[in-house]
Amino acid sequence: MTQTRRGLAGWLLGGGVTASLAAFLYPVLRFMTPPPVAEASVSEVAAGKVQEFKVNAGKLVKFGSRPALLIRLGDDEWRAFSGICTHLNCTVQYQESGRQIWCACHNGFYDINGKVVSGPPPRPLEEYTVRVRGDEVVLSRRA
Ligand code: FES
C-alpha cells in the first residue's frame, strides 16, 4: 500500500514538474521563434509635415519596415530614396556639406539623384516619388 502511495505521489509530482516546465518553456520558445509575418507591401507613406524638414537636410523616415531617405533640397525641391545601400544593405545618410548621400560602411557615395559617385555600391539607390499634399509630404514607390 505504501509502495502504491509513493508511486502515485511520484507520478503526480513528476507530472506537475513536467507541466510547470512546459508552461514555462512554451512561451519562451514561441518568443524565440516568432511566426513568419508577411511583409506588407507598402507603396505610399506619409513622411511628415513640410515644416518638419529643413532645407538642405536629409531625414530617415519609415517606408513600411525599411528606411527611406527624404531630402529637402529647396523650398519645393525634394528627393527620396531607399535608405538602404545597394552594396551590403547599410543605412545611408545625407551629407549636407557635399550635397551627397553617403554610406559609412564602406565609404560609398551617391549623388542627389541616387546615382553611384564612388565606392563599392553596384547600383543606384531606388528612388521614390515625393508629393506634397497640403502640408504633408508623401512618398510613393515608382511604378
Ligand atoms: S554597404 Fe554601403 S558601401 Fe558597403
Based on the fold, state whether residues 15 and 57 are members of the same structural domain: no
pLDDT digits (tens, 9 = 90+) for 69-83: 999 999 999 999 999
Based on the fold, state whether residues 58 and 114 are members of the same structural domain: yes
Cα–Cα distances in Å, from 17 out to 27, 28, 48, 128? 16, 17, 54, 57
Number of domains the chain is built from: 2
How far apart are the C-alpha atoms of 128 and 117, rounded to whole Å? Answer: 19
Q: If we measure between CA atoms, which residue out of 50, 43, 40, 41 comes closest to residue 70?
A: 50
**pLDDT band at residue 1, thresholds of 50, 70 and 90?**
low
| The predicted structure's pLDDT at residue 19 | 73
| The predicted structure's pLDDT at residue 17 | 73
Based on the fold, state whether residues 31 and 54 are members of the same structural domain: no
| The predicted structure's pLDDT at residue 35 | 55
Among 82, 86, 105, which is best to mutate for testing ligand 1, by the most ligand atoms less than 8 A from CB? Answer: 105
Atom of ligand 1 nearest to the CA of 107: 3
**Share of residues in the chain with pLDDT > 70 (%):** 80
Mean pLDDT of 25-48: 69
The pTM score is 0.73
Domain hosting residue 3, numbered range = 1-36
How many A from CA of 115 to the centre of ligand 1?
14
How many A from CA of 110 to the centre of ligand 1?
11
Ligand 1 residue neighbourhood (C-beta within 6 Å): 85, 87-88, 90, 103, 105-106, 108, 119-121
How far apart are the C-alpha atoms of 3 and 60, rounded to whole Å? Answer: 71
How far apart are the C-alpha atoms of 21 and 19, rounded to whole Å? Answer: 5
